Amino acid sequence: MSSQTIPQNTSSNKHFNTPRPRRSILKIILVILATTILLSLITLTISYFLWHRHLDNKLTAEFVRLRANGELITLQDIQAQYTKPINGLNAADYYTPRFDALTVASEIFDTTSPLNPAATQMMMPSLPSADTPQIPFFTETPSEYTRLNLTPPLIVLNDTKTYLASIQEDLSELLNPPIFTGCFYRDTQFQFPLLGPADHLQQIRNTSRHLQLAHWLAVHEKQPNDALQTLTTIRSLANTLENEPFLIGQLVRTSLLSLLNKEAQRAINAHLFNDQQLVQLQTILTPINADSTLIKTLQGERSALFAGINFYANNPIMHHLGLNKKEKLFAIQYYDAIKKDIIASKNTLPNASKLIQQAPFVYIATNTLLPAHKATIKTFHQIEYELTTTQLAIASYRFYLSNRQPPQNLANLTSNHLSINLLNAAGEIDEQITNDYKLRTTSNGLLVYHPGPDNTDNLGNPYNPQGNEQHGLNQTDITAAISYSNANQPILLQLFLKTTQAHLDNLKAEHENDQPDGQE
């Protein structure tokens, strides 16, 4: 039996063993990839809108909280609050024309100004020539004569009187103002990035130098009423800045109060005032509340930071990632931390400082626009301590004048000697005052001091070993010293000979370097 070969269906096997075309696999992969991308885009889009909605909701909730607390948020809020209509006479409307007049008057005597310098020679022929760089009393020259116990040259006295006579009308209007019901300066437009000092701040500083000059002359010529009037006006100008919403305005205010304190101490040590005038002076020297002043400016500073964040939000990356909104939330958290630290009397701002160290580098506005809040707190507290020490020194001096002996300590002072701000509800000196401030007396006078922001007691020494006044920092205290009229030597020289002499030597060297030829 022969075997038969069964033929195979080659065409069928060929079809059965052929693999699928690669195009089909690629098509499937592309479909999967496209679907994945589409789903990712949908997810990203949904996430994008959910992320921004989340941030918007958080910001809205924070803004609602802040507004419920009566806080201002935007620069528009600040502008509306600052320029709120006044029912009565606006102090700024009265003072501004006088500021303008004094600015022009002072520029006439500064040959670097575009005004004709020949007017200098015409009005004050005692000056050597029309190209004298600057008349001496726009520096510290007149007050230096007093501090160095020197008789001012006749040329300085004559030129001072001539200049003050030339501005007498405007000066008189400054010294005798009407009663105001409020103040806002109309040159202020709170918008970013133009948040620099307004014109009125510079004009006030210039006007304060004129008042300082007038006060120096009044003290030199033993005119207590004129001296007290100029001090009152310096305080009035400082008061016009009470509602300034930004730190720059409040810092100008503190500089005026520091000037007021320095000039008041000069007048007291000249023994110009009677008891009634000393009482008036105590009122003029009422200190600011450093903490509440700073807390009030935080709203303005925060609104400026928000405006800065909006400015930088034009960057598309910042915008789309929501970093501008995240930065605003961070700013709210930061300013809340400052406020809590201040309320808790943590003047080094530990919580706020820790927070700001964690600020991401992409928060451009936060990392470039935030002011030095710790330094500002020191400045505000320094002026509060300065005014309070002088008030207490006056009270102790009044005690001495009425009893012919100084009080043994500040607790001996009563409501007969103290300003109302230093009394508690029972009408006695506040216990916190007697804890924070110290009295020292000698046969030559008395001094009251506060250890200052560093809280280190240096027994009332106002100068460091180099003779520099450091206002309660670097081995110094914040001190108000009054030497008696019959003192053998100033009390500061008696108690702190080396540092006080170093200070006087520094003043003398500066004074001699500042003198134009022929005026030493």
Q: What is the pLDDT of residue 93?
A: 93
Q: Is the pLDDT of residue 122 over 60?
A: no
Q: What is the pLDDT of residue 19?
A: 57
How high is the pLDDT of residue 377? 87
Residue scoring higher pLDDT (270 or 153): 270
468 Cβ neighbours under 8 A, 6+ residues apart: 503, 506
pLDDT confidence tier of residue 116, bands split at 50, 70 and 90:
very low
pLDDT of residue 43: 82
DSSP assignments along 293-329, one per residue: HHHHHHHHHHHHHHHHHHHHTTSHHHHHTTHHHHHHH
Which residue would you say has higher pLDDT here, 371 or 424?
424
- Our count of domains for the chain comes to 2
Residue 488 has pLDDT above 90, yes or no: yes
Last residue of a domain, one of 232, 256, 271: 271
Q: Are 199 and 187 in contact (CB under 8 A)?
A: yes
Alpha carbon distance, N-terminus to C-terminus of the chain: 150
Residue 423 vs residue 111, higher pLDDT: 423
The verdict on 189 and 52 lying in the same domain is no
Write down the pLDDT at residue 373.
Answer: 83
442 vs 7: which has the higher pLDDT: 442
What pLDDT is recorded for position 30? 80
Q: Does residue 490 form part of some domain?
A: no
* The residue to which tokens 């080396």 are assigned: 498
What is d(CA 240, CA 235) in angstroms, rounded to the nearest whole number? 9
Nearest to 314 by CA among 326, 305, 324, 304: 324
Q: What is the DSSP letter of 389?
A: H
Yes or no: say if 256 and 204 are a contact pair by the CB < 8 Å rule: yes
- Asked, for residue 278, whether it belongs to a domain, the answer is no
Q: Are 84 and 145 found together in one domain?
A: yes
- Tell me what pLDDT residue 268 has: 96
Specify whether 66 is located in the same domain as 91.
no
Residue 183, domain member (yes or no): yes
At residue 314, does pLDDT exceed 80?
Answer: no
Q: Which residue has the tokens 């069964």?
A: 6
Residues 160 and 66 in one domain: no
Q: Are residues 85 and 194 in the same domain?
A: yes
What pLDDT is recorded for position 163? 85
| Residue 458, pLDDT score | 95
Structure tokens at 421: 């701000």
CA distance 30 to 212: 84
SS (H, E, C) 403-449: HCCCCCCHHHCCCCCCCHHHECCCCCECHHHHHHCEEEEECCEEEEE
**CA distance to 395, 416, 481, per residue, from 423 (Å):** 12, 11, 22
Can you say whether residue 178 is alpha, beta or left, with left for phi > 0 and alpha for psi between -120 and 50 degrees?
beta
Percent with pLDDT over 70 in the chain: 86
pLDDT class for 308, splitting at 50, 70, 90? confident
More confident residue, 46 or 518: 46
- What does the mean pLDDT of the chain come to? 84
Picking from 244, 271, 298, the residue at the C-terminal end of a domain is 271
**Dihedral (C-alpha) 151, 155, 160, 163: value to the nearest 10 degrees?**
180
For residue 113, the model assigns a pLDDT of 42
Binned at pLDDT 50, 70 and 90, residue 22 comes out as low
101 in any annotated domain = yes
- Mean pLDDT within 458-465: 95
Confidence of residue 411 (pLDDT cuts 50, 70, 90): very high
User: 409 falls in which pLDDT band (50, 70, 90)?
Assistant: very high
| Residue 163 resides in a domain | yes
Range of the domain at 225: 76-118+135-271
Q: Tell me, yes or no, whether 192 lies in a domain.
A: yes
Note whether residue 243 is domain-resident. Answer: yes
212 and 151 within one domain: yes
| Residue 363: closest CA among 305, 303, 300, 316 | 305
| pLDDT in the model for residue 398 | 96
Please report the pLDDT score of residue 443 as a whole number. 95
Which of these ranges, 12-26, 161-175, 191-205, 253-267, has the smallest mean pLDDT?
A: 12-26
Whether 232 is covered by a domain: the verdict is: yes
pLDDT value at residue 313 = 74
pLDDT-derived band at 4, boundaries 50, 70, 90: low
What is the value of pTM for the model shown?
0.84
Verify that 101 and 183 share a domain, yes or no: yes
Query: Are both 89 and 202 inside the same structural domain?
Result: yes
